[in-house]
């Protein structure tokens, strides 16, 4: 038995457990000792398959598990907290604010990319998967942060960005050296098509096909070293990995084990539906070009590769996995998240978050549309599937500025209303840093105010070519740019909102930090922060908000969102007024209100069949 204490990784420990379980002659004392070691070892949970699902009592038909009951908080490290005064957020800065997150009540932190990167796309271009970005700190800093998270009974998931790497990654540096290089097939290299003669009369080449990049221009980049093109669905410095190469897949699984063996609790998987490509790369049709994200997703071997990843890695750990499901429809979702599929736990479906967007343009918000989306989710996703609930992240503008009313009069009540909705709907809720403060969009004035490569490339492609007037371009991006969510966290009223002691942060602080900041909100019992904390506690105390049935009582109403959550005899009503004006709403005769549980306006008074809702008011009632 002493040899067992030298098992350093979770996988090695659990292999020993499985071997013992499989050995019919194993002594009971040995099995008990192994189980005790697995239980006591820090950050070494049993493999999820070690406990048969049939042994766990279902709740309303759902298999209960920790990641379904979690509330996730996304941290964008560059913008969260700077600890060393260089103007860039870092890992020790995150560690210094763990008490703040614990007090809020979240129990899973999602950390956006922290890996070594040249930052062509703010860390989503990874140069070394096993190294921490120097601007963010060291591996010792990461380990200290992870230990602090565990000590506070929280968990950590990290970004897994494996559709592409940086062009400075060792694999690509080697790959581009020659066609015979052992790493050549780690990426997609193709000959170009013959093009017209150039000004000098010499023949030219065109990209292998008409695939566009998400960041403007062609998805193919010519490389003169070998006179071939390489594929990059995103920035030129983000070449796509060739998952058809089994060596690539094993490299990915190896780096996943590296972080899981450290104690990380899972992954948010960046653009994971794009990992499988059609190697013939035919031209996209005009219809496909209209929505090329859908054309790139769901390739011929996507499910094979996700199942292999699960089999080789995730099934051996107690993890949470959530995929950024670009191009995956709601109807296709069960094929990825179904219990019997053994692929991912959850995915992000973008129907709701993009319901008021048309490219870079912001459309008027239509409540009936978003309600219909949530109803469709409840109908399509069954007891063996699981959903996510989110309306903000690092790639989208600020929550209250987009779906609420960020005017001085209604910013606070509308931010609380949105929190009420997110934390009482079906699925695991995801909050983005600053949502709990009601942080707002930044008042962008010109192109120099933006940092995002997507914006800069679009400016070159659309404004400098005369397709869109600059004023129109800036006016649209003021509402929809993802830089809105990347402005630094507003901690207090000191210079730069307490984010950094540097004269200038990497991205400008929103000038309203004097009015909107964490210090004032933590101290104010009526703040958005403390209201959100109460909601999280309510969700944790009542499984009806996790596993309960959902029903929209008035789908066509343009200003009132009113729905029930029911689990056995426990039933709740959530009433949300998505307008600035008062509404007298009469409940259906079948709905009998018992007591008011919460209101974002501290409403009191008689409980009747008519709800007199103020502008942007949210209420939660217990039903008879």
Tell me which residues are annotated as active site. Answer: 270, 324
Cβ 582 vs Cβ 615: under 8 Å? yes
Distance CA 367, CA 145 (A): 40
Locate tokens 């397709």: which residue?
Answer: 467
324: left (phi over 0), alpha (psi -120 to 50) or beta: beta
Buried/exposed code over 306-323 (b: 16+ C-beta within 10 A; e: otherwise)? bebbbebbbebbbbbbbb
Distance CA 452, CA 528 (A): 29
Buried/exposed code over 560-570 (b: 16+ C-beta within 10 A; e: otherwise)? bbbbbbbbeee
Distance CA 578, CA 529 (A): 20
Cα(first)–Cα(last) distance of the chain, in Å?
57
Distance CA 45, CA 41 (A): 8
Distance CA 90, CA 160 (A): 19
What is the residue-wise DSSP string for 82-135?
-SSSSSS--HHHHHHTHHHHHHHT--EEEEPP-EE---TTTTSS-SEEEEE-TT
DSSP bridge pairs for 598 = 620
Pairing of strands 610-613, 583-586: antiparallel
Q: Which strands sit side by side in the sheet containing 560-567, from one edge to the other?
A: 549-552, 560-567, 570-577, 618-623, 593-599
Residue 156 φ/ψ, nearest 5 degrees:
-130, 130
> What is the dihedral sign for C-alpha 491, 494, 495, 500?
negative
Buried/exposed code over 254-272 (b: 16+ C-beta within 10 A; e: otherwise)? ebbbebbbbbbbbbbbbbb
Distances from the Cα of 18 to the Cα of 13, 44, 59, 502, angstroms: 9, 15, 28, 53
In terms of Cα–Cα distance, which of 366, 359, 368, 321 is closest to 341? Answer: 321
Cβ 519 vs Cβ 527: under 8 Å? no
Locate tokens 């029903």: which residue?
Answer: 551
Helices (H), 491-527: 518-523
In terms of Cα–Cα distance, which of 195, 127, 138, 187 is closest to 161? Answer: 127
Determine how many CB atoms are found less than 10 A away from the CB of residue 531: 26
Pairing of strands 593-599, 618-623: antiparallel
Tokens in use for 471?
């004023």
CB within 8 A of 8, min separation 6: which ones? 261
């Amino acid at each position: 038995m002493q040899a067992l204490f030298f098992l350093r990784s979770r996988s090695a420990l659990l292999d020993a457990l499985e071997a013992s379980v499989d050995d019919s002659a194993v002594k009971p004392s040995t099995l008990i000792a192994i189980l005790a070691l697995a239980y006591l070892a820090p950050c070494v949970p049993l493999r999820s398959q070690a406990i048969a699902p049939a042994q766990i009592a279902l709740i309303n038909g759902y298999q209960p598990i920790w990641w379904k009951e979690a509330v996730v908080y996304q941290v964008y490290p560059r913008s969260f907290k700077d600890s060393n005064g260089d103007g860039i957020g870092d890992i020790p800065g995150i560690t210094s604010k763990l008490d703040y997150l614990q007090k809020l009540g979240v129990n899973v932190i999602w950390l956006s990319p922290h890996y070594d990167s040249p930052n062509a796309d703010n860390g989503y271009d990874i140069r070394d998967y096993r190294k921490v970005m120097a601007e963010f700190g060291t591996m010792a800093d990461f380990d200290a942060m992870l230990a602090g998270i565990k000590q506070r009974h929280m968990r950590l998931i990290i970004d897994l960005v494996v559709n592409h790497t940086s062009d400075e990654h060792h694999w690509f540096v080697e790959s581009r050296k020659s066609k015979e290089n052992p790493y050549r097939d780690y990426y997609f290299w193709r000959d170009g098509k013959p093009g017209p003669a150039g000004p000098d009369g010499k023949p030219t080449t065109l990209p292998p096909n008409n695939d566009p990049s998400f960041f403007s221009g062609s998805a193919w980049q010519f490389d003169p070293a070998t006179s071939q093109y390489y594929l990059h669905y995103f920035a030129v410095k983000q070449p796509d990995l060739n998952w058809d190469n089994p060596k690539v897949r094993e490299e990915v699984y190896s780096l996943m084990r590296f972080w899981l063996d450290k104690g990380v609790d899972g992954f948010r998987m960046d653009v994971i539906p794009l990992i499988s490509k059609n190697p013939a790369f035919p031209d996209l049709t005009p219809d496909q070009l209209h929505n090329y994200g859908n054309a790139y997703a769901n390739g011929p071997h996507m499910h094979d590769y996700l199942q292999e990843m699960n089999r080789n890695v995730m099934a051996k750990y107690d993890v949470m996995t959530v995929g950024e499901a670009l191009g995956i429809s709601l109807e296709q979702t069960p094929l990825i998240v179904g219990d019997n599929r053994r692929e991912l736990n959850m995915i992000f479906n973008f129907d709701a978050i993009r319901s008021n967007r048309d490219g870079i343009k912001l459309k008027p918000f239509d409540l009936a549309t978003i309600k219909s989306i949530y109803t469709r989710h409840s109908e399509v996703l069954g007891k063996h599937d699981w959903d996510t609930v989110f309306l903000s992240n690092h790639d989208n503008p600020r929550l209250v500025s987009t779906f609420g009313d960020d005017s001085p009069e209604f910013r606070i009540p509308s931010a609380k209303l949105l929190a009420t909705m997110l934390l009482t709907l079906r699925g695991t809720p995801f909050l983005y840093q600053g949502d709990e403060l009601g942080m707002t969009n930044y008042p962008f004035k010109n192109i120099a105010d933006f940092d995002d490569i997507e914006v800069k490339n679009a400016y070159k492609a659309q404004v400098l070519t005369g397709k869109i007037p600059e004023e129109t371009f800036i006016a649209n991006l003021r509402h929809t740019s993802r830089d809105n969510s990347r402005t630094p966290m507003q901690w207090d009223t000191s210079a730069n909102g307490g984010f950094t002691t540097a004269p200038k942060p990497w991205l400008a602080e929103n000038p309203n930090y004097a009015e909107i900041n964490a210090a004032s909100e933590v101290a104010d019992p009526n703040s958005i922060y403390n209201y959100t904390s109460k909601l999280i506690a309510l969700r944790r105390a009542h499984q009806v908000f996790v596993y309960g049935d959902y029903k929209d009582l008035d789908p066509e109403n343009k200003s009132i969102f009113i729905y029930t959550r029911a689990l056995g005899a426990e039933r709740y009503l959530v009433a949300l007024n998505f307008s600035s004006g008062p509404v007298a709403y009469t409940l259906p005769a079948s709905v009998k209100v018992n007591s008011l549980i919460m209101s974002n306006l501290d409403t009191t008074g008689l409980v009747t069949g008519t709800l007199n809702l103020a502008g942007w008011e949210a209420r939660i009632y217990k039903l008879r």
